[in-house]
Amino acid sequence: MADIIPFSCTHCGSETFTASSPVKTYKDFLGAVCAKCGAVVKEDDIKKKGLKIADDLVRDAFKKAGFTD
């Protein structure tokens, strides 16, 4: 399992961030700084990304379980 969590800057789309501690969960992106544009990740940014990814995971899980919509 890779430790890398996909996350992109809501301002410039860069996926490189400078975080004060190793990022293991989306919450750890809070306060991280985009290496390209310098934007600081806010809670809302994480929520938007997190929710979308959660949706995708749920959809995948349902597909694997044989459910279709």
Tokens representing residue 4 in the block = 């890398």
Residue 12 or 61: the one with the smaller Cβ distance to Zn ion is 12
* Position 32 contacts Zn ion (CB under 5 A): no
Task: Detail the DSSP E strand segments found in 1-69.
Answer: 17-18, 33-34
* Position 34 contacts Zn ion (CB under 5 A): yes
Q: Residue 24 in contact with residue 3, Cβ under 8 Å? A: yes
* Position 11 contacts Zn ion (CB under 5 A): yes
Residue 37 or 61: the one with the smaller Cβ distance to Zn ion is 37
Q: Tell me how far the alpha carbon of residue 59 is from its chain's centroid.
A: 17
Q: Which residues bind Zn ion (CB under 5 A)?
A: 9, 11-12, 14, 34, 36-37, 39
